[in-house]
Structure 1
Amino acid sequence: MIRNTGQKEHIVWLDVIRLAAILMVIGVHCIDPFYISPAMRGIPEYTHWATVYGSLFRPSVPLFTMMTGLLLLPVRQPLGTFYKKRIFRILFPVLIWSVLYNMFPWFTGVLGLPENIIGDFFCYTQGHESQALGDSLKDVAMIPFQFSFKENHMWYMYLLIGLYLYMPFFSAWVEKATRKEMRAFLAIWFVSLFLPYMSAYIAPYFGVGYLFGESTWNAYGLFYYFAGFNGYLLLGHYMKKGNDWSMARTLATSVILFGAGYCITYTGFAAAAADSMSTEADMELFFTFCSPNVAMMTAAVFLLMQKIRIRRQTIVRLLANMTKCGFGIYIVHYFLVGPFFLLIGPSSLPIPLQVPVMAVCIFAVAWAFTALVYKLLGKKAAYIMG
């Protein structure tokens, strides 16, 4: 459903996709403590449901990328204007919150709090907690180059800035390309999605561990130039006109795509999780965002949600506000994962409900906080919340 705001079209079903993507990404992060916590990871039921939800929520980041392609391709602004509007808009909030995340351990020491509170907030730091000012400043100094375990979710900001840098140049081709040419690009991109599995299962049989021209002196093989998140950008643009299929056809296609993708994702990850010899790379292989199984799940969600129609204006306005606050919700939510896990993890709430309840609660608190900052600071809030 598209409603006319007088100035520009507002795509309501896109707000619904954004809501789903935000809940998914929060859900993914809610799962982390179940694997990392020594008290939880030894309980098979926790591992099982973490695998169920971890597989279910994989379309999160690809959905964000598709929305970016839908909204911004082709780029209609001069290079400098586009960079200023897009990159500078997120740069200040990213820097501010990255500093806050990385200085948090030192703040806890200043307040006289126990060192293990750092691991309670950020599960990936467990066993490596430090309240030393020098360690916090070292992580702050690394912000231009890499995220830390205290702000794992900020990896997406590096990706997003990279996409913004790339888009004006990609846009020049997109603007001139026919639908047939776009389908050809997407077909080659889809082949490239198999590369992680080919590298893991086929390349070792060649003895050197490389495929398609890759080597010790060349990391850029045959499919490199079509690989990565640019395919999701183009797919979002390609699908921007909406879905004119019947509901029956849409539902059938979405169920098949999502079901097949989910089965591959769940089965692969569960097998890796059950193998005590699995490395971190083995564990993440079937969770790879740029893989055929995740791409199928993402396309299924996008197709189905394009059919959503919302006519109640109260809901439309709430979704619009959520969209306005979406970036802020994303950057602040990671502060809440640890505390809510401490509240809900040991509770009597049935294990299958713990991740969804955590995700909804974290989403609600992060949204309320972001909305409050916007209400108090007005337009200036954009420098803090994006």
Structure 2
Amino acid sequence: MERVRLQYIDLLKFFAIFSIIALHVFLVWPKAKVMGIKVYSLSSIVRFGVPVFIMISGALLLNRDIEIGSFLKKRINRITYPFLFFYIITFIFIALTNHTHEQQNIFAFRWYFWTILGVYLSIPIINKYIQHSSLKEIEYFIYIFIFASIFYQFTYFFEIKQYFYLTLFLSPLGYLVLGYYLSKKDFNLSTSKMIVISIILFILSTSIKICGQLGYIPITENFVASQSVILSSWLDVSFIGILQAASFFLLCKSIYEASKGIFSPIKKFLESNIISKFVLSVSRASYGMYLINLIPTVIVYYYIQPMNLTGSQVFLAIPLISIIIFLVSWIIIVILCKIPYIKYVSGYS
């Protein structure tokens, strides 16, 4: 039986892949300033991308009847072949242009691949827990996820030595379970209230993250896995990061439930023929876009970054270049998915 495609999931993928591309563009100019403020601090606005992608996996893949062999074969093949294809393409590009890049190392190339690979290997185990638990019982996992985030963030910041081991929870698996939970949870609020609350929480969490980047609230700086007791990763597992990703997830989900009220025109716009097809296409191309966007970003780094733009010019250039790379990456993947044989490794699903 074919599963019904959830429109809000496609919208989440659309914004998540754009946020990742924009974050990579921000990294081209880490020191640019406008009125004494680092432009890079605004990258906190788009740091929800990877957590949201992991949450999507939880929403789509948990609480299903899984046969381990067929599940792993399907999922791992789907991400591995495109990964190897684009690794080779990127390696050749970097070699031919005489550039050096740390992601020539296959184990560093596109760290999200390695993260989601670990998530897929864990899903058959976590799935059993989800299948035999009520939403109330699943909240237990999420509570520890949030507690561990706050606890380790404080101990890291204050350099407190400790041996309290909760790393199973403070990991991508936390976002995986959170995504499933939020996809099923009914908060008994009107759609309009849910949207307003989600917007407020997203703005609040993002503002706090920006202040952390600027050094105004040091303890709220991004708390990533490489700064904790778990394996090296760039996954943001701070409490504020969790709040930002969760609020954005709920915002997109609630938008498609707005059949009436002040937010219903947004739903109608998203469901219009051209927009819905574009969102769907980007959603299906998102993994390939993630793998290919390094090449245009490297071009920007080597050919535009040396132009010594002013802080104001960088501030204006980042969103413009992000949109261009977003569209170029999408067009490349759409073209590749139409080529025989290549379509199987294009990352278009």
1:330–1:293 Cα change, 3 Å = same
Q: 1:257 aligns with which of 201, 209, 213?
A: 201
TM superposition shift of 1:61 = 0.5
Q: Answer yes or no: is 1:381 the counterpart of 2:343.
A: yes
8 A contact 1:46–1:351 mirrored in 2: no
Q: 1:20 aligns with which of 11, 15, 26?
A: 15
TM superposition shift of 1:83 = 0.5
1:165–1:47 Cα change, 3 Å = farther
Q: Answer yes or no: is 1:312 the counterpart of 2:272.
A: yes
Q: Which one-letter code corresponds to 1:50 in the other structure?
A: Y
Q: Deviations over 1:327-348 (max 9, x none)?
A: 1111000111132354487568
Q: 2:324 aligns with which of 361, 364, 376?
A: 361
Q: Deviations over 1:235-291 (max 9, x none)?
A: 1111223766324422332233223322331122211999xxx9x99x989x86111
Q: Deviations over 1:86-125 (max 9, x none)?
A: 00111111122223333434323xxxxxx4xx26xx5x69
Q: Answer yes or no: is 1:240 the counterpart of 2:183.
A: yes
Please give the secondary structure, in 1, of the residue aligned with 2:339. Answer: helix
8 A contact 1:30–1:358 mirrored in 2: yes
Q: Any residues of structure 2 matched to 1:147-166 within 5 Å, and which?
A: 147=108, 151=109, 154-166=110-122
1:8–1:294 Cα change, 3 Å = same
8 A contact 2:144–2:169 mirrored in 1: yes
1:45–1:81 Cα change, 3 Å = farther
1:62–1:155 Cα change, 3 Å = same
Q: Deviations over 1:41-64 (max 9, x none)?
A: 364559622111x11111111100
8 A contact 2:58–2:176 mirrored in 1: yes
What RMSD over aligned residues (CA atoms) do the two structures have, in Å? 3.1
Q: Take 1:255 and 1:385, find their aligned partners in 2: how far apart are those partners?
A: 31
TM superposition shift of 1:352 = 2.8
Q: Answer yes or no: is 1:299 the counterpart of 2:246.
A: yes
Q: 1:50 corresponds to which residue?
A: 40
Q: Take 1:14 and 1:42, find their aligned partners in 2: how far apart are those partners?
A: 34
Q: 1:227 aligns with which of 152, 170, 179?
A: 170
1:105–1:273 Cα change, 3 Å = farther
Q: Take 1:103 and 1:380, find their aligned partners in 2: how far apart are those partners?
A: 17
Q: 1:179 corresponds to which residue?
A: 135
Larger radius of gyration: 1
> Structure 2 length normalisation: TM-score?
0.82
Identity over the aligned pairs, expressed in percent? 21
> Structure 1 length normalisation: TM-score?
0.75
Please give the secondary structure, in 1, of the residue aligned with 2:175. Answer: helix
Q: 1:112 corresponds to which residue?
A: none
Q: 2:95 aligns with which of 83, 106, 112?
A: 106
Q: 2:259 corresponds to which residue?
A: none
Gaps of 5+ in 1: 1-5, 36-40, 109-114, 126-135, 205-209, 214-220
Tell me how many residue pairs correspond in the alignment. Answer: 323
Q: Which one-letter code corresponds to 2:319 in the other structure?
A: P
Please give the secondary structure, in 1, of the residue aligned with 2:215. Answer: helix
Q: Take 1:190 and 1:58, find their aligned partners in 2: how far apart are those partners?
A: 18
Q: Answer yes or no: is 1:80 the counterpart of 2:72.
A: no
Q: 2:283 aligns with which of 312, 323, 326?
A: 323
1:347–1:269 Cα change, 3 Å = closer
TM superposition shift of 1:68 = 0.6
Q: Take 1:29 and 1:173, find their aligned partners in 2: how far apart are those partners?
A: 36
8 A contact 1:34–1:46 mirrored in 2: no
